[in-house]
Structure 1
Amino acid sequence: MRNKSLAVGLKQVTIIPATLLAIVINTTAAFAQANKFYNPISIPVGNQINDTLSDKDIPTGQGGFARDYMVKLNKGDNLVIDLASESFDCMVTLLSSNGTTVAENDDGPDGTSNSLLFTRIVETDNYVIRVRSFGETGIGLFRLKVTRLQPAK
């Protein structure tokens, strides 16, 4: 009887660590896989990009989609981000590397649904420029231009 109790106890002792190990392995694999899919497109400042927002991009949770671009910015940079589309109502968001919103613009000063964002960078870092549609306004072609303004002399 004692040997049977010992055998049952040993099975329980080995099952718990094995279960925990399986959970850790699966969680680690899922985390690595999730990070493999998120890879913002790198763009240099001063270039214009013509691209397409599609239903294959990042779901926003508001019915629309977003596409992310990575850009290296320096402390003191004065930046203009110009986003235009005839296909959807544009929104542009500048995010720090930790995911906090630095600045955001929905409609530009010209009265259209294009976005024009002016901001000053307070910390050298890699930033994400998120292009997205407002709500469920759609997908389609867009133009993104990132410009560093020269300081006044």
Structure 2
Amino acid sequence: MTQAFAARFSFALLVPITFLTVSLTAMAARAQSPLYSPLAIPPSNEVTDTLTDKDIPTGQGGFARDYALTLNAKDQVAIDLSSESFDTIVTLMAADGSTVGENDDGPDGTTNSLLFTRITDAGRYIIRVRAFGETSGGAFKLKVTRLRPVN
């Protein structure tokens, strides 16, 4: 009789403890905010923003800010990044994190960046804005232009 009582008592304790553990885990999961959430490119396809030391650390002494946009297969885009505060680098990344294209200095001889690329796969892409070297950043302008495909 003692073993039967102990078995029922253990089971009676197991159910509430399991329920409490699952409830606390679910509440903690809901309380967490996403660690990585790129900003959306607005419908105007232009952004005026500021790169700061509160953005994503690059591991090279600088910081980066990410913007998300959806592109279609065969889209041709020009991504123009300019700043009077820092030497810009613009990177276009696919959803899997691979680099589609990158530009440090544009063709005009300045430290602004201009990237031209053709998209092969439709999907969500990330535009990463960062400063060259250990510069913390400053004000910048980002413009995405979809170019007309050549027939």
User: Would you say same fold, with TM above 0.5?
Assistant: yes
SS at match of 1:49: strand
Number of matched pairs: 150
Q: 1:42 Cα deviation (Å)?
A: 3.6
- Report the CA distance shift for 1:114/1:53 in structure 2 as closer, same or farther (over 3 A): same
Stretches (4+) displaced over 4 A: 28-31
Mapped contact 1:54–1:140 kept (Cα < 8 A): yes
SS of equivalent to 2:128: strand
The answer on 1:99 being equivalent to 2:97 is: yes
What CA RMSD, in Å, does the superposition of the two structures yield over aligned residues? 3.1
**TM-score, structure 2 normalization:** 0.76
CA distance in 2, matches of 1:151, 1:127: 19
Residue of 72, 75, 81 corresponding to 1:83: 81
* Separation in 1, partners of 2:50, 2:71: 24
Quote the Cα distance in structure 2 between the aligned partners of 1:50 and 1:42. 11
**Match for residue 144 of structure 1?**
142
Give the TM-score, by structure 1 length.
Answer: 0.75
Q: Closer, same or farther in 2 for the Cα pair 1:44/1:97, shift >3 Å? A: farther
Q: Is 1:80–1:119's contact at 8 Å kept on the other side of the alignment?
A: yes
User: Percent same amino acid among aligned pairs?
Assistant: 58
Counterpart contact for 2:81–2:113, Cα < 8 Å: yes
Query: Structure 2: which 5+ runs fail to align?
Result: 1-21
Retained in 2: the 8 A contact 1:43–1:70? Answer: no
| Structure 1 segment 4-153 matched on structure 2, within 5 A | 33-35=33-35, 37-44=36-43, 47-152=45-150
Residues 122-145 of structure 1 show CA distances to partners (whole Å, capped at 9, x for unaligned) of: 000010000000121231100000
Partners of 1:52 and 1:141 in 2: CA distance: 4
The one-letter code of the counterpart of 2:93 is L
Q: 1:95/1:138 Cα in 2 relative to 1: closer, same or farther (>3 Å)?
A: same
Cα deviation, residue 43, structure 1: 3.2
| Structure 1, unaligned runs of 5 or more | 1-20
